[in-house]
Structure 1
């Protein structure tokens, strides 16, 4: 499978930004995150460039990435289910959550629909974030910021959280930008993801203060405490935003899985035929049932570790192939 010329940059960007909003806990103090951001962004941008340059479409690596994407899809559904259970107890069971997020994948399996939906959700999400900031602005307090000297554990927490590697950084290699834009988009992608994450942490620290690390689902908690209370009056809107963000992420993973497995995603606009959808739906539901007792925080930590290992293997194999080609065909 060769690299595709499909432009999925908006979808990848939405997927990585949604990861920040769907987290069940914060990862670090805002000051540590802001200071660590340049170094973390440089590391992730370098990984994006190296992986996208080194990716050669090895058959075994493609199958491994498919398995990783399938497990990641199930973990995303389970995290959304945990989010529902924390903020709106009794709203949806696991089967209901699976149906709500997997059913729209039938429509989003097509590349144009996926890109258009991602663009619309980026605008819609930006508007919701602006409303939330305006809503909580009267309760933001500068004295709430963590003023104690940063310790080694604070720096470690910031780097561990910021250098977590979701599958989107690996999928960047499947749909890389044009060679002239690759470096700029890699830097923009990493900086946008980490900048948004640090900004959300700063907002939450101004709101919750020292209680921020102990808060569960802090973004949703802050939104519901706002002066406008728009998220309390329009709970269905918030639920819709969460579900669509996860659905876009699942559709992106499905598109990649079909393309990696040798499907026709790269040749046409459909990621998978309708005949495959029942198998996908049933497989995801079964995988969620198997993994539902797994601690999510540990699962996402190990997913990041596996992604880092996968990226290292891709870079090493790509470097070895380049070295062999240089030896066989010297300039």
Structure 2
């Protein structure tokens, strides 16, 4: 039953990706909003199997939901990883594909207060995008590493140190991840049509997933961060543009995944911008990074931070419904998946 549900989920993800391309072409240029399209960060983060299990948050909007108003999101993140490193003391292999489906809700409960929850479902498999990623890297002249010689369709996440196996996961399947409870407080909003805004956000992650299946970490994590944005009306018919940024910290209790080497404090941040030439779509790009989650390793992929370039756009399907489409590439090689695809269907109510 679990394998069948997993197969259906993977097929749905592929169909959704193809559908979004058609939607982007069909709706770009169609006037379907009575107000400018909000330019906000992509609701995603590092999807490495050794990172996404913790409470690392997305930057989120600098504008919290108004009182009595809400926002829902269905996000799909597909990340393909291949990393093989060996020394006399350590061996690390990350070979597989992960799919994370997040159901999110944000609701304004006061003049400046927003509450929310994220319910994630995490699946792993041997990967169907291995060939696509090799072609992608070849087309853009990006380094292939050991990918061309690696077995296709394999699922195995493993780490050994000093003769002891500290991580081993090779079972495909789908399971619930760690629940996140979120909150946001509007610190500043200038009230303009092209606003300057600042919000304090936080999230609390509960250990509801499975650490042995890498759908959770076994730890309770608390994140606090500031997120700000500034929007600018452009002259003539050039639409509007925005810049956004976020910075904060993540504190984690002792979990079950490489717990002897994991750090309890991690810093993170995002810097990005976007341009909306029409009310129906916007182009966006952002850099998202974090400090190291692990220590006491000779491998920089564990012992150093990660950074991703995430680029794509938002298309308005209606006055209240938007679709984010983005692709990410690892800037610091090995600390995050080679390529990850993000889809986010959001709706205001």
Q: Which band: TM-score by shorter chain? A: under 0.3
- TM-score under structure 2 length normalisation: 0.24
Greater relative contact order (CA < 8 Å, ≥ 6 in sequence): 1
- TM-score under structure 1 length normalisation: 0.25
